[in-house]
Structure 1
Amino acid sequence: MRATRSLRALAPAIALALAGALQPLPAAAQQGTGGRDALPGVTITYDAVEDPVEKSYRRMVRGMDLFERERARSPEGRLRFKLLPRKRGVDLDRLELLVLGRTVEIPLQVAPDRTFELPRDDKAWAEDAKVTPDRKALTMTWRAEVRTPGLPPGTRRLGDLRLECRVGMEAGLYSNSPSFITRLFSELSTTPAYCGSEGNRYLFFADRPIFGVTLESGPRREMVPAARLWAGGIDESDLARELPYCDCEVLLDRTYFLPLADAGWPDDTRVVFDYMEDRHAPD
């Protein structure tokens, strides 16, 4: 279900509200492979990276274990992990990603859509290894990604996204900097239970800039309120100053929250995206 004409008329106001805090991504940077949009970036080379971004191998494996235990939410879903830029000028297309322990070193293959799988390795677990890219801290961020194959373009499945949140929380892949968005996380529990709490604000990223998001389940259709889009920043008066502290800084126009705790929306609910590029298309 597409946005109504009246909401389309608000598109210029939305763009103005975000302008200055977020510059549009170059058109060439939005073209991806395999039907996905690539994310912006220019080459940055590090011979030795100080203060690298890294995650706990054990926590990410625990996220994989949770996915297996809770597959009922996404019976056909596939779990991968995804890398996203947090600052402009960060190239994630030529990224080296390793599992590193005291004696173990496992190279990981990153796909063109910036996703990867994590192998299970007893030695890496025993050595409390880290999953380490050759990028500095605060230049990129991480998410779990659960996708059911065969869905129509521009749609996701709510059960997949619920499981993404739970895996992401278990694996430690969530926004964690003091900013306008993470003030909403002030009472954040770092466990998957957060995803089932009322008013949770787990931050999702769409494939392209979004104008609107609609939930569809049988005859029920409901647009996600603007306060749940663009990281809730549409009414933030100090957005430009706060954004550098959020891992949504360069992807603000792709972000959204969902009512994950609302049992009235079953796991098979479709999440339908109305992309910014379609806002002038006829209804």
Structure 2
Amino acid sequence: MDERELCILHYSALPTAEEIAKEYASHIKGKTVLITGVSPNNLGLAFLEAIAPHKPGLLILVSRTLFNLHSSQEALIGKVPALQQVRNAAAEVNGWHASDEPLGHFLFTKLILGKLLNAARNSPLRETRAMNVTSNGHRISDIHWNDINLEMRLLLEETPWSSWTRYGQSKTANVLFSISLTEKLGAKGIASFSLHPGCIFTGMVRDLSTEELVEKGEAAGQWLPPAVRYKTVSQGAATHVTVCFDPDIADQNGSYLKDYKIETTDIAPYALNKHSVELL
């Protein structure tokens, strides 16, 4: 039995996205939902599969490839009341290349800002929301403002974990970005939240060798608790549902969520730094 199998044995008993979606069915009905990075068996698709039975008004899928779009569309066929909702959406986003990096989040949000503002004007306060998926891995690294690309760190060989430092920086930026959106758009009725979906065997690690998993596990030891329990993809997407549809979090705009609840202790202070919010 290798390290991958050992990890898979330890799953949590948290609710699934489907269970959470049932609680917010009335809030899902009629909503337009746009989600980036959709592909088979990932968090984005699990989120859509959970909310699709509750009659959202329109589902807009954004992905890097047409293959991912078409595969995700097929997966939703049996769950979306009106299949045309997905077909039209796929046609809208063909050719768009969505980046996981912070600049990609910023650019995409800027491109759809007019639609967000229009939705906010015609919706109850803070029901128009921008969700940024981050990770507990933000605790790996603050943003190195004087060396964002880590060129000097690599030159000086200060750390063997440059890829993880980049990962930590990007996830810290996602938390800060939600806070920034809150400050700039909160008065206009738009809410923004960041979330940690949990430890999940998604595409990011599914295809790694045992040696790579061990190496990355050693690096991740900086921010993972020793008794970490993994989630299924559906359990990981449960917090997505809460962020998008829970009316009770509207007055906590800009918050960071974990395990479908507001999290205030398990977050690095630099991810809440006001100066960093302004720099971003």
* Pair in the same fold by TM > 0.5: no
TM-score norm. by structure 2 comes to: 0.30
Higher helix proportion: 2
TM-score norm. by structure 1 comes to: 0.30
